[in-house]
Amino acid sequence: MAAVLGKCARLSAAVSRNVSPFSGLLGVQGISARVSRLHTSPGKLTAKFQKGRHQKVLLGGVAAVAGVGVLVYFKKSRFWILHAASGELQGGDRKAGLPEYSLKDVEKHKGNGSRIWVTYKHGVYDITEFIDLHPGGEKIKLAAGGSLEPFWHLYAAHKKPEVYEILETYRIGNFKDAGKVALKDASDPYRFDPDRHPALKRNTEKPFNAESPPELLVDNFITPSSLFFVRNHLPVPEVDMKKYRLVIEVQGKKPISLSLQDLKKKYKKHTITATLQCAGNRRKEMSSQRPVKGLSWTFTAISNAEWSGVLLVDVLKAAGVSLDDPKNCHVQFEGLDKDESNNPYGASVPIEIAMNPFREVLLAYEMNGEDIPTDHGYPVRVICPGIAGARNVKWLSKIVVSPDESPSFWQQRDYKSFSPSIDWDTADFSKSPALQDFPITSAICVPSAGQKIDGEDGEITLKGYAWSGGGRGIMRVDISADGGKTWQVASLQKPGQRPYQEWSWTLWEVDVPIPEGFKGNMELICKAVDSSHNVQPDSVAGIWNLRGLMNNSWHRINVEVN
């Protein structure tokens, strides 16, 4: 152990000098390194020892020293020696003589009073003791009661022999349901719904609606397709690609019918990166002011992706559509998803948006470089950048150029905003305009509300997103830790897009100091300012509306400083 401490001290000194410490780690290979945490500060070096198993990592925040098998995790002035591994172990193989567990058995162990179990291939693992040691924070809890595999697909660094060896030390049994697929009822209208990533925060199952997990959302500027929030109003339709046609209808002209291949061959491919956000994002906060109707979204019904397809303006021009024709006022979209009365989901945008090449409205057939996933509208989805998600119709089947807005319920009787003084008894949807461009908004994704913060760290790292509709970029994000009395400006990860074509969100990060000796509840606030100097309102009261839409008030969370 003295030898390990000596190597740790040299590693600590290297970190303090901001130089690479890896040269002194070669001798660690093969040593049962039980130093789980090392604190470094001027003139002080302390180590915390772990009496049980070695400290290990399952879900991220690690670096592997090439050729050595030592995992080291760095965070500010601390580092963890995680494991010194050897061999070429493959995790998750079936092992004779171990207990057999079903999916139901595993699902009973999600924490909150029970042990935390996870599966990987044919293995079942009890990782309860590891939770507090995990360098990636609470992300590991997203896999509780389920499989690690969907997460490890996102974090390829885990698929290494040293990580498999670590995982196997927590092995408690075999997973007897590995590879089994649940049968679906042929009469269920939701039978064509695809499988979803277990990390998605489910709001409703039928129709399926789920948010992205906040702790993973800000890990990537481009949201992985499997973690992109899902907003379905109706069952996912079955699409027969041999029969699929996109129909374009223009008054006084012969309808045009296009297959997916026609779209790809006849029109130039165009790619944009754009954020989509549900109009009800952050509805739960608004409902806490006064009850509203709608799904109880928190603050992550928003995601960012790269979309490829053809510009709508190119297709409309080829169909003979002109802005000079006074009858051409709106462009309606219909999806293949239908309600019990066979009415399709529909929406529309003004012709001035649809025909404006600067607005880059897209008929998208790719998402993040691949065919659009089923949940996000395969084979074709309308992408109206900067506009409420409800107008971005999925499973697109028809485009109609019309003097009128879409007659769809979701255009005429939903997704409209009212004064705080209007309630359901006095609301007149016919006199309220349909939502289009989004206002400025922002949110704190890390840390999570209620999270316990170690005051000895001296600061809290906050991460989040900011976004404004209509192509307006983010000029500034302000953070307060004292109720809005003082503010600190966050560092921005800008999308690098043209002014007034900034369709993507801006991710931000800031380290907020913890006052010396402070303990107890701390309120954290964020607000953003866009390129037109629009600023978020400080409270929900003045923007409350009966449908709980467009909540862009200051985002506030409380954490507990120990």
Residue 417 included in any domain: yes
pLDDT value of residue 27: 28
Per-residue pLDDT of the chain (562 residues; tens, 9 = 90+): 344 334 343 333 333 333 333 233 222 333 233 333 333 333 333 333 333 333 333 343 444 433 334 444 444 434 444 444 444 556 889 999 999 999 999 999 988 888 999 999 999 999 888 877 766 667 778 888 988 888 877 766 677 787 888 888 889 999 998 877 666 777 789 999 999 999 999 999 999 999 999 999 999 999 999 999 999 999 999 999 999 999 999 998 999 999 999 999 999 999 999 999 999 999 999 999 999 999 999 999 999 999 999 999 999 999 999 999 999 999 999 999 999 889 999 999 999 999 999 999 999 999 999 999 999 999 999 999 999 999 999 999 999 999 999 999 999 999 999 999 999 999 999 999 999 999 999 999 999 999 999 998 899 999 999 999 999 999 999 999 999 999 999 999 999 999 999 999 999 999 999 999 999 999 999 999 999 999 999 999 999 999 999 999 999 999 999 8
- pTM, whole model, 2 decimals? 0.80
Residue 464 included in any domain: yes
Catalytic residue among 415, 476, 555, 556: 415
CATH code, domain carrying 121: 3.10.120.10
Q: Tell me the residue type at 458.
A: G
Q: Is 39 labeled as catalytic in the residue annotation?
A: no
3-class secondary-structure state, position 481:
coil
**How many alpha carbons fall within 13 Å on the CB side of residue 200?**
24
Catalytic residue among 231, 330, 381, 547: 231
Residue 260 included in any domain: yes
Task: Pull the structure tokens for residue 172.
Answer: 């408690």
Q: Is 196 left (phi over 0), alpha (psi -120 to 50) or beta?
A: beta
Task: Pull the structure tokens for residue 521.
Answer: 């509840």
Residue 463 included in any domain: yes
Catalytic residue among 197, 244, 278, 384: 278
140 and 164 belong to one structural domain: yes
The neighbouring-strand residues paired with 416 are 434
Count of the separate structural domains present in the chain: 4
Q: Is 278 labeled as catalytic in the residue annotation?
A: yes
Residue 238 included in any domain: no
Q: Yes or no: say if 260 and 365 are a contact pair by the CB < 8 Å rule.
A: yes
> How far is Cα 267 from Cα 522, in angstroms, rounded to an integer?
54
How does 176-189 read in b/e, with b if 16+ C-beta sit within 10 Å? bbbeeeeeeeeeeb
Residue 513 parent element (H or E)? strand 506-513
> How far is Cα 139 from Cα 214, in angstroms, rounded to an integer?
10
Q: Yes or no: say if 356 and 401 are a contact pair by the CB < 8 Å rule.
A: no
Q: Is 283 labeled as catalytic in the residue annotation?
A: no
Residue 181 included in any domain: no
Residue 270 included in any domain: yes
Tokens 């953003």 correspond to 528
3-class secondary-structure state, position 44:
strand
Q: Yes or no: say if 415 and 547 are a contact pair by the CB < 8 Å rule.
A: yes
> How far is Cα 103 from Cα 85, in angstroms, rounded to an integer?
30
Q: Is 170 labeled as catalytic in the residue annotation?
A: no
What's the farthest any 2 CA atoms get from each other in the chain? Answer: 87
Question: CB neighbours of 33 closer than 8 A, spacing ≥ 6?
Answer: 4, 54, 70, 81, 83, 84
Catalytic residue among 54, 158, 197, 283: 158
Q: Which of 431, 465, 491 is the last residue of a domain?
A: 431
Q: Which value, to the nearest 10 degrees, does the dihedral of the CA atoms of residues 272, 277, 278, 283 take?
A: 180
Cβ count near 104 (within 10 Å): 8
Q: Yes or no: say if 310 and 319 are a contact pair by the CB < 8 Å rule.
A: no
Domain that residue 125 falls in: 100-175
3-class secondary-structure state, position 287:
helix
> How far is Cα 332 from Cα 249, in angstroms, rounded to an integer?
10
Q: Is 231 labeled as catalytic in the residue annotation?
A: yes
Residue 216 included in any domain: no
> How far is Cα 330 from Cα 250, in angstroms, rounded to an integer?
11
253 and 402 belong to one structural domain: yes
CATH code, domain carrying 503: 2.60.40.650
> How far is Cα 465 from Cα 217, in angstroms, rounded to an integer?
9
Catalytic residue among 54, 122, 134, 359: 134
